[in-house]
Amino acid sequence: MELKILLMAAFLSFPFTEAYADVRTLDGHYYLQGAMEMGAELLLRKDGTFSAGIAYGSAGGVAKGNWYVEENTLMLEQDPATQPAKKLSYNLSRERTLVELKEYADNEKNELAKESYVLELRYDRQPPPPPLKPVTVYFEFNSGPPGQLLLSSNQQTDLWLPYDPKRTLKKIGFGTDHNHGADQWFDVSPDSRAFNIGWKKRKNQPLTFEQPTGFDLATTSRYLSQEEQQRVAHNYWLTLYHFDPISPPAIQPVDVYWQFEDGSTLKQVWADSQQTKLTQPFSPNRTLEKIGLHTQNSPDDIEWFTVMPETRWATLDWQTYPDPANGDLSVLFNDLQLAIEPDCLAVNFGNGKACFRRK
C-alpha cells in the first residue's frame, strides 16, 4: 500500500543533513511490508537522524528524530513535540487518606494533606527498557565470602540471595564485565532485607543504577502472604527495574474543578506541565465529591472523577492523547525498537510482525 501524497510530501520535506560514517551500514530508505492495510516508510540517515511516515485508512502521521543501535536492536528516539499537547487522557490511579499517609511515614505529604486536598499530577510515560547485557550483581558482607547473582533480563526482575543471620550485608555492586568486577558500589543499611533498584541506559552512556531503596523485614513482610513471608525471612530480596522518566510535554491550559457534596465548586487553572500538585484548603464542614478537568477552548465535556469521602491525596496519571487532526499515528514511532534481522527491521504495530525492508 502506497502512502498518501500528502504524507509523502511531508515525509520528504524533512531536511537532509551532511552524512557521517556509519559502522552498521543500516542507513537507507525502508518500506513497511507485512502489515495489513498499513503503509509506512523509514529513512535512516548516516548522521544518526531519521524521518518516517505512516498511513492507516484515513489516519496518518509523520515523525523525525534520532536512531542508534543497542544490542542488535535499532532504537528510534522521536523529537519531542514542539507544540503543546491539545488533548490529554487521565486516570485516577490512587487515593489516600490521612491515616494511610501516616502509615507510609510520608511526613512531607502528610503535612501538606493535613490542611489541604491534594491532587498529584503525574505524567505517565516511560520509554520501553532498552536491551540489556547480562549484569553481575555483587554482594559484600562484614565477614565471610562475597556473593554474586546475575541480572539477564531488561524487564522487572526479582533476585534472591540466601540470608545468613551470622553476618551483615554491607554493599551491593553492579558490573557488566565479570573479569573487572563492579563498576558501581552502594552502601546499604544493615537492617535492610528487601531492595528496590532502578537502572537506566541511554545512548552513548554507560549503564547506571540508582541507590538501592532498602526496607527492613517488618516493613517488607507487612503485605505479603504467609508463603512469601517465609521466603523473605530466609533471603535478601532485590527487585530491579528500568526507571528513566520522560520530561512531560507542554500542555494547553486545563481548568480543574473541585466539586463538593454541598454543591459548591471551585476552579483552578493548570497551565504548566511541570507543575505536579494542585491544592485546595480542607474544611471539615464540606466533603470533596468530584474532581473535573477540561482543556480550555476544547469542545469536549468536563471529565469528572469521583473521589472517596475520606480522600485527601489523589494521584492523577496523565498522557497526551493522539489528535487525528495533527498526525495521530506519529505516536507509533515514539521510542520504537526494531529487531535487526537478515533483510528485515522487525516491528509490531499491534497487528503482528512486519518488516521494514530497504529498497
Contact at 8 Å (CB) between 65 and 22?
Answer: no
Q: For residue 333, what is the DSSP state?
A: G
| Per-residue pLDDT at 35 | 87
Specify the range with the lowest mean pLDDT, choosing from 72-81, 187-196, 224-233. Answer: 72-81
Q: What is the pLDDT of residues 43-94, one digit of tens each?
A: 999 999 999 999 887 778 888 889 999 888 999 988 766 567 778 999 999 9
- Average pLDDT estimate for 170-182: 93
Q: For residue 210, what is the DSSP state?
A: P
pTM (2 d.p.):
0.69
Sheet (strand 169-175) strand order: 147-151, 135-141, 169-175, 184-187
> Measured in Å, how far apart are the chain's first and last C-alpha atoms?
15
Contact at 8 Å (CB) between 174 and 183?
Answer: yes
Phi, psi dihedral angles at 202 (to 5 degrees): -110, 165
- Position of cell 545468613? 164
| Per-residue pLDDT at 100 | 85
Contacts of 56 (CB under 8 A, 6+ apart): 37, 38, 39, 329
Fold of 88-124+248-320: Immunoglobulin-like (2.60.40)
Domain residue ranges of the chain, discontinuous segments joined by +:
5-81+324-358, 88-124+248-320, 135-242
Does domain 5-81+324-358 fall under CATH 3.40.1110.10? My reply is no
Q: In angstroms, rounded to a whole number, what is the distance separating the alpha carbons of residues 119 and 276?
A: 8
Contact at 8 Å (CB) between 238 and 161?
Answer: yes
Q: What is the pLDDT of residues 248-277, one digit of tens each?
A: 888 999 999 999 999 999 999 999 999 999
Which amino acid appears at position 347 of this protein?
Answer: V
Here the cell at position 336 is 520504537
| Per-residue pLDDT at 265 | 97
Bridge partners, 28 (sequence order)? 44
Bridge partners, 41 (sequence order)? 31, 53
pLDDT band of residue 12 (cuts 50, 70, 90) is: very low
Contact at 8 Å (CB) between 49 and 65?
Answer: yes
Express the helix, strand and coil content of the chain in percent, nearest 5 each.
15, 45, 40
State the DSSP H helix or E strand holding residue 56, giving kind and residue range, or none if neither: strand 49-56
Q: What is the mean pLDDT of the chain?
A: 87
Specify the range with the lowest mean pLDDT, choosing from 11-15, 194-198, 207-211. Answer: 11-15
